[in-house]
Amino acid sequence: MLSLLRNSQFPVTNGEPALLDRDHSTLAFNERVLDWAVRDDVPLLERLRYLCIVSSNLDEFFEVRAEPHLAANQANERKGTFSVKSFERLADAVHRLVDTQYALYNEKLMPAFEAQGIRIVSHGDRNAAQRLWVKQFFERELRPLLIPVGLDPSHPFPQVANKTLNFIVRLSGKDAFGRENEIAIVKVPRVVPRLIRMPDKVAEHRAVFVSLSSVIRAHLVDLFPGRTVSQFSQFRVTRHSDLAVDEEDVKNLRTALRQGLVHRHFGQAVRLEVSAGCSEYLSQFLLKQFELPVKALYRVHGPVNLVRLTQLIDLVDRPDLCFPIYTPAFPVQMNQGQSIFEQLKRGDILFHQPFESFDGVLELLRQAVHDPQVLAIKQTIYRTGSDSQLMDLLREAVRRGKEVTVVVELKARFDEEANINWAEMLESIGAQVVYGVVGLKTHAKMMLITRREGRTLKRYGHLSTGNYNPRTARLYTDISHMTAAPGLTDDMEHVFVHLASQSKLPKLRKMWMAPFHLHRNLIDKINAIAKAARSGTPARIVAKMNSLTDEVLIRSLMAAGREGVKIDLIVRGACMLPAQVTGHTANIRVRSIIGRFLEHSRVFYFRLGEKEDLYLSSADWMNRNMVRRVELAWPVTDPVQRQRIVDECLVAYLHDRVDAWDLGASGAYTRSVPDPKTTAHCAQAALMARYSPNEPRQA
């Protein structure tokens, strides 16, 4: 059981149970991810991958969420929901999680790797031949890159970038000028790999590795000739990294963001990681330097950056220690070799990634690029990655003389630089690039193709719950929806014009759009369902999303549940709604599915008597998605298509007994326990089997 709250009785305020804490809910999600690293039925290299994913998630958590807690703690005052107590409670929870991570790494994973002939060997365990090789590697590859900085009035503490590996050293003796400056800093370049494989001649034909930190640690003394290294520790500082740009006060958002990226690596320090054996003197020195309290210090029994251990997965050629390769099927509703435009005239096409391939999206764009009848292509870009076939196709479309309009979201967190580069490239070749609406992030995912057919212009659209990113499309579950239905494509055209011109948005026929009416329409829908249930009409809500933190939507759901509406919520990550609280939310179940693939699709189902409505969306139920982003939700009206989405995205996950966690009345998640008398159902495994190219199936 993973505990969100430590109290046994749920607090009730003003007649309603208190909402769960968002940040602690995020940490509980990471505990669920970490469970995959614990499970013996998961291949060993995949267990390491999940361990590293948790570390990556924690990095982002600190970069984005920790600063307000820390600021309140430093000021010793309450700032909204942030206070000294909130900081200390959060720090205690993270310390527990990190301690669990490193215990798992040292006590379970490393011994398991050694049993498989894979070893990360420390300096103390290296034989003479290995030590000689490491020394030669250090002298040849590392020493020329390392410049130790001795601290004195003319050599202040150097700028230490966010999440970089560094060493702090305490020296005895005197320097070349007879002074006793005792502290030195060694910054380790990012370009150097964190794991180095030893050659077979010294590895005894096994997979033996050395960590970069252990190589440097073993030869620190060589960097300080004539001095004695008395104490040392590796360290890493995490900094607040959420870019803040006053869009109302800048003339060129792209230029302002590019300038901001330079300073991001040197924002306010929020966390300090050191080796477990770091002396009190050095740890206090670093805490003072970075102006951090003791609870922001994390002593770790291993490398300070577990994320970089993902290199081991690539360095070891052991497919038997990884998940079996899954090759997604080409979308079953698409006929390869035929015009997609002709197929869309017969009806909409939906496909379920990554069980079906993102190649379907690329094929639609490819056909549009090479079709002389296609005149214009419009597309939103949120996260497409630094190396993208899709962007290459857009570039080719411009070269072929088509009108290409791209709405690039420059403020996609941690993808700003890649998006700026794409925007500049597209502009340089003649594409129309716009950056959405000032003050809002454009998070909607849509592509609109305009094609001349006889004397008319016809539009074809693609809408998605996920990003136009071929890499993550192999890892995230999402729904792609292709359509030629005028109701949807006309709405898409209106949205594109609105984003480019910022003119008043006409009334949309089918879509709900944030920040204008998505929030209000969801609330109205929930309230209508509640009203019907109160009068005795059978009513049902099932919603799948990544996060549920919007208080208004949460309270609307709770009110509907009290009226008798049966509500199932499939929420992968943070969820602030307290489920299964007797007398309050007994009609509401919350499940979290943590599987091989990252659950990312957003699906909202409402049933009122015999009437069913189903919407796909780019939006989670978070306040930022409703009021600070451009988001879309759109209906799936074809009964067959709608039932397919219900079966694959909702029912399958509600019956999962392998990857599911249920939120209980105490605020804790409990992993679903399969019935030993039956075969446990796993939604993702079932979908992989259904869509595997090697399995017979029906379109």
357 CB neighbour count, 10 Å cutoff: 23
Burial of 290 (0-12, 13-18, 19+ CB in 10 A): buried
Distance in angstroms (rounded) separating the CA atoms of residues 503 and 258: 28
Provide the total of helices (H) and of strands (E) in the chain, helices listed first: 22, 29
Distance in angstroms (rounded) separating the CA atoms of residues 106 and 113: 11
State both tokens at 577: 């709604």
Query: Residue 600 catalytic?
Result: no
Residues 6 or more apart whose CB falls under 8 angstroms from that of 456 comprise: none
Nearest Cα neighbor of 442 from 241, 602, 624 is: 624
Residue 166, amino acid? N
Residues 6 or more apart whose CB falls under 8 angstroms from that of 684 comprise: 477, 593, 595, 596, 597, 659
- Residue 169: helix, strand or coil by DSSP? strand
Angle between helices 84-104 and 22-38 (to 10 degrees): 10
Nearest Cα neighbor of 219 from 303, 135, 151 is: 135
State both tokens at 411: 């403020």
Residue 365 CA to its chain's centroid (Å): 26
State both tokens at 472: 């993550």
Are 276 and 300 in contact by the 8 Å Cβ rule? The answer is yes
Nearest Cα neighbor of 167 from 153, 187, 149, 191 is: 187
Catalytic option among 352, 443, 481, 494: 443
Residues 6 or more apart whose CB falls under 8 angstroms from that of 647 comprise: none
Distance in angstroms (rounded) separating the CA atoms of residues 329 and 344: 19
- Residue 512: helix, strand or coil by DSSP? strand
Pairing status of strand 660-663 against strand 629-635? unpaired
Tally the C-alpha atoms within 13 A of residue 492's C-alpha that lie toward its C-beta. Answer: 29
Nearest Cα neighbor of 235 from 193, 197, 279 is: 279
417 CB neighbour count, 10 Å cutoff: 14
Nearest Cα neighbor of 378 from 495, 209, 519, 296 is: 495
Q: Which stretch of DSSP H or E encloses residue 669?
A: strand 669-671
Are 130 and 198 in contact by the 8 Å Cβ rule? The answer is yes
Distance in angstroms (rounded) separating the CA atoms of residues 242 and 123: 38
Q: Annotated active-site positions, please?
A: 443
